[in-house]
Structure 1
Amino acid sequence: MWKTILRRLIFMIPQVIILSILIFLIAQAMPGDPFTGLINPNQDPAVIERMRETAGLNDPWYEQYFRWVGNALQGEFGSSFLYKLPVATLIGNRISNTLWMSLLTVIITYLIAVPLGMLAGRYQDSWLDKTVVVYNFFSFAVPLFIFALITLFIFGYRLGWFPTSGSVAPGVAGMDRFWSRLYHMILPSITGALLSTSVTIQYLRNEVIDSKSLDYVKTARSKGVPTNRVFSRHIFRNAALPIASQMGYEITSLIAGSVVIEQIFSYPGVGNLFIDSIVQRDYSVITALTLILGIASLVGTLLSDIIMSIVDPRIRIQ
C-alpha cells in the first residue's frame, strides 16, 4: 500500500507542473495588472511604468514563471500588492479559518446524511422515505447563495442567535477564544451542510435498498440475526463504501467551494481572500491560492482511495 501511495505521489508531480503553468498563464491573461485601480489616476505614467518594471511585470512570461516556481518551492509566493504582506503569511492567517469551518461542515453533513440515508433505505416507500426524498430534492435544487442569505437574515439579523460576520469576537483569549470561534462557525457550517447532504443520502439510500436483497443479508436473516444488527453490522458496512470513497472529495471540495459561504457570512477565510484578490488584480495571491486548491484536489483523490482501502481491507488501491 505504501509503495502504491508513493507511486501516486510521483505521478502527481507532472500534474502539478502542468497545473502551475496553466494557472500562471491564465493569471497573466487577466486584464489589467496589480497596480490597476490602486494608483492615483493623476500619477505620472513613467512612474507607474517604473513600478511595473521593478515588480518584474515587464519580463517575459517564462522568466516570471520560473522565478515564481523557484520562490514557491521555498515557500515564498511573493508579496500581496493589496495587503502589503507576504502571500504565505496572508494565506496562513486565513486558511486555518477555512479548514476548521470545512471540517465542521463535513462532520455535520455526515451526522445528517448517514441516519437519513439509512432510514430512507430501510423504510423504502414509507412516509419517512418520501420526506427524506423531498428534503433531498430541496437540498439539491436550492442555490447555496440564496439559502445562505435566508439563514443569515433569519438567524443572524432577525433572531440574533448567531454573529453575522467575523471568525472570533475581539478581545477574547484561551478557551473563550475557542468557543467564540466555534460559535462563529456554526451558522455557516450548518448552512453549507444542509445543502451538501443530497449526494451522500442518495448514495446511501440506494445502496441500502440494493443490499437488502443480497444473499448475505438473506442468510443473516435466516439465521435469526436481529433486524437492527443486520442493518448496522452487515448492510451499513457494505453501503458505506461509496460514502467513504467520497470523503476525500468532500473535504477538498468544501475548502475550494467556501467562496460563497465566506462572502455572504463575511467570514475571513481563503474563499473571501480569493474573491478580493481577483477584484483587485492581486496576481501573487490568485496564483498561490489556485495552486494550493488544485493540489488539494489531487490530494483529495488520493485520500479517497486510502479511506476506501481502510474501510474495506479487501480493496487495495492499484
Structure 2
Amino acid sequence: MPVRPAHPALPVLLRPSLQLLLTLALASVLIFASLELLPGHAAALMLGPDAAPEAVQALSRELGLQQPAWQRYGQWIAGLLRGEMGLSYAYRTPVAPMLAERLQLSLPLSVLALALTVLASLGLGLLAAARRGRWVDHLLLGLSQLGLALPAFWFGMGLMWLFAVRLQWLPAGGFPGWDAELGGGWGPALQALLLPALALALTQTALLARLLRAGLLDVLQEDYVLAARSRGLSERRVLLRHALRNALVPVLTQLGTQFAGLLAGAVLIETLFQLPGLGQLIAQAIANRDLVVVRNAVMLLVALVLLLNWIVELLNAWLDPRLRRPEASHG
C-alpha cells in the first residue's frame, strides 16, 4: 500500500509560522534591552534629572528594577501572554486597556489607508502598463516620482488646507469616536479618518503602482501571455486574467513593508490631525518618559506588522503554486 505524502499545505504554514514566533521572540528581546538595559537608571530617566533620590528608589521598587534583568524580562513576557502589560507611570492606569482604546482609531486608520493604497495602485499600475510609452504612462510615472519624494506629513497639510480650510468638505482634525450616543458614529468617524488616510496612502501608492507596472510589463512578455494574445483575447482580458495574478506576488510581498510604513507614518499624521491614536500615545509616552507604555506599544506595533507579513506570505503561496511545493521551501 503506497505511503500517502504529507499534506503540501503543512510546510507552507509551518515555515512562516515558525519565522513569526522566532521574530516575535527576537523583537521582544531587542525592545526590552533597548529600554531597560541602556546606560543609566530607568527610574531616574522616567522621573527626570531633578528627581529626589528617595523618589527614584520608590519608583525603582514599584517597577521591580531591583530584580535581575532576565527575571524582569520573563515577568514582562508572562504578562503579555496573559494580556497584562503593567501600569502606566504617567497615567497610573493599566496599559493594555489604554492601547486597546487607541487601537480603535489607529487600526481602522491604517486599514483604510492600506485599502486606498491597494485600490489606487491596482488602477494606476494597470493603466500605466496598458498605456506603456504613451503620455498617460509618462504622466503616472512622473506623479509617482513626486509621491515618492514628498512625505506623508506634507500631503496631510496640503489635503487639510484644500478640503478642510478652503472647501470645508471634511473636518480638519479631531476624532468624534465610533459611538453615535457619544456624539460620534460611523459616518463622522470615517469622515475624520479620510484625510489622514489619504495622506498616508499617497506616498505608499506611488511605490506600489510603479512596482505593479514593472511586474505587469515583465509578465506580459511571458510565453503563456503571448499565447493568450495569439488566441485573439483582448488586451484587457490578458491583463486581468493572465498577467495580474502573477504580477501581484512581488506587490503583496511589498505590502507588509508598506503596512509598517503606514504605522510609522501615523505617528506624525495623528499629531497633525489631532487624532488620539496609538502614534500620538507613543509620542506622548516618550515625552513623559513613560517607558512602560513605550515598550508595550512598540511591541504591539511590531506584532501587527509581523502578523501582516505572515498573512502576505501565505497569500503569496496561494497566488504562486511553485511556493506550495515542498522543494520550494528548501530552495
Q: TM-score under structure 2 normalisation?
A: 0.85
Q: Measure, in 1, the Cα distance between the counterparts of 2:90 and 2:55.
A: 18
Alpha carbons of 1:177 and 1:30: their partners in 2 closer, same or farther (altered >3 Å)?
A: farther
Q: Secondary structure at the match of 1:266?
A: coil
Cα deviation for residue 227 of structure 1 reads 2.3
Cα deviation for residue 184 of structure 1 reads 0.8
* 1:208 match: 216
Choose which of 29, 52, 70 in structure 2 pairs with 1:21: 29
Q: Measure, in 1, the Cα distance between the counterparts of 2:157 and 2:197.
A: 14
Q: Is the 8 A contact 2:156 2:195 kept in 1?
A: no
Q: How does 1:92-171 map to 2 (within 5 A)?
A: 92-168=100-176
Choose which of 244, 263, 279 in structure 1 pairs with 2:287: 279
Say if 2:228 is the partner of 1:220: yes
Q: Is the 8 A contact 2:109 2:197 kept in 1?
A: yes
Q: Is the 8 A contact 2:47 2:289 kept in 1?
A: no
Alpha carbons of 1:36 and 1:19: their partners in 2 closer, same or farther (altered >3 Å)?
A: closer
Choose which of 43, 51, 57 in structure 1 pairs with 2:59: 51
Q: Is the 8 A contact 1:277 1:286 kept in 2?
A: yes
Cα deviation for residue 40 of structure 1 reads 12
Q: Is the 8 A contact 2:102 2:278 kept in 1?
A: yes
Q: Which moved more, 1:166-175 or 1:210-219?
A: 166-175
Q: Is the 8 A contact 1:252 1:300 kept in 2?
A: no
Q: Measure, in 1, the Cα distance between the counterparts of 2:169 and 2:19.
A: 48
* 2:4 match: none
* 1:60 match: 68
Q: Measure, in 2, the Cα distance between the counterparts of 1:125 and 1:205.
A: 12
> Percentage identity across aligned positions?
29
Aligned residues: CA RMSD: 2.7
* 1:312 match: 320
1:164 maps to amino acid: A
Give the unaligned 5+ runs of structure 2.
1-8
Choose which of 293, 297, 306 in structure 2 pairs with 1:298: 306
1:273 maps to amino acid: L
Cα deviation for residue 84 of structure 1 reads 1.9
Cα deviation for residue 137 of structure 1 reads 0.5
Q: Measure, in 2, the Cα distance between the counterparts of 1:163 and 1:290.
A: 29
Give the unaligned 5+ runs of structure 1.
none
Q: Secondary structure at the match of 2:117?
A: helix
Q: Measure, in 1, the Cα distance between the counterparts of 2:40 and 2:165.
A: 38
Q: Measure, in 2, the Cα distance between the counterparts of 1:275 and 1:306.
A: 33
Q: Measure, in 2, the Cα distance between the counterparts of 1:179 and 1:34.
A: 44
Alpha carbons of 1:222 and 1:33: their partners in 2 closer, same or farther (altered >3 Å)?
A: same
Q: Measure, in 1, the Cα distance between the counterparts of 2:183 and 2:251.
A: 34
2:131 maps to amino acid: Y
Cα deviation for residue 181 of structure 1 reads 1.2
Choose which of 5, 9, 12 in structure 2 pairs with 1:4: 12
Q: Which moved more, 1:234-243 or 1:281-290?
A: 234-243
CA shift digits 1:117-174 (9 cap, x unpaired): 1111111111101110110111000122222222223323343322222222698339
In the alignment of these two chains, the number of paired residues is: 317
Q: Is the 8 A contact 1:249 1:300 kept in 2?
A: no
2:210 maps to amino acid: Q
Q: Which moved more, 1:181-190 or 1:18-27?
A: 18-27
1:52 maps to amino acid: S
Choose which of 276, 280, 285 in structure 2 pairs with 1:268: 276
Alpha carbons of 1:30 and 1:280: their partners in 2 closer, same or farther (altered >3 Å)?
A: farther
Q: Is the 8 A contact 1:34 1:282 kept in 2?
A: no
Say if 2:270 is the partner of 1:242: no
1:144 maps to amino acid: A
CA shift digits 1:245-281 (9 cap, x unpaired): 3333333442344212112111111111111111111
Q: Is the 8 A contact 2:117 2:201 kept in 1?
A: yes
CA shift digits 1:70-102 (9 cap, x unpaired): 222211110111222111000000112111111
Q: Measure, in 1, the Cα distance between the counterparts of 2:104 and 2:39.
A: 28
Choose which of 219, 229, 251 in structure 1 pairs with 2:237: 229
Alpha carbons of 1:233 and 1:32: their partners in 2 closer, same or farther (altered >3 Å)?
A: same
Alpha carbons of 1:30 and 1:205: their partners in 2 closer, same or farther (altered >3 Å)?
A: farther
Alpha carbons of 1:30 and 1:88: their partners in 2 closer, same or farther (altered >3 Å)?
A: farther
Alpha carbons of 1:89 and 1:118: their partners in 2 closer, same or farther (altered >3 Å)?
A: same
Q: TM-score under structure 1 normalisation?
A: 0.89
2:268 maps to amino acid: V
Q: Measure, in 2, the Cα distance between the counterparts of 1:142 and 1:31.
A: 38
